Amino acid sequence: MTLEVDALIETYTVLKEYIPAKERQAAADALMSVMVDVLNDIDLKELVSVDSYLRRSHEEYANDGDGDGDEEYTDYED
């Protein structure tokens, strides 16, 4: 994991605590819409392993694009 991705994950984890639970999926969707264009596949896979919100966002993005959405991820915590 790169230092930038590590910092992004830490930032997301901290900020997620300040987002009401019912808004977290929308926040993850907004973040994912930017990150799919910025991160390479390895870093993106690391990011989406953080929680179910990011994983769901990525799966929806992949299913809308040319990905198959069948990747496996390791959860840290939700």
What would the pLDDT profile of 33-73 be if each residue is shown by its tens digit?
999 999 999 999 999 999 999 999 999 988 886 544 445 54
Q: What is the pLDDT of residue 15?
A: 97
Residue ranges of domains in the chain: 3-64
Whether the CB-CB separation of 62 and 35 falls below 8 Å is answered with: no
> Average pLDDT, stretch 2-21?
95
d(CA 43, CA 11) in angstroms, rounded, equals 15
> Average pLDDT, stretch 71-78?
51
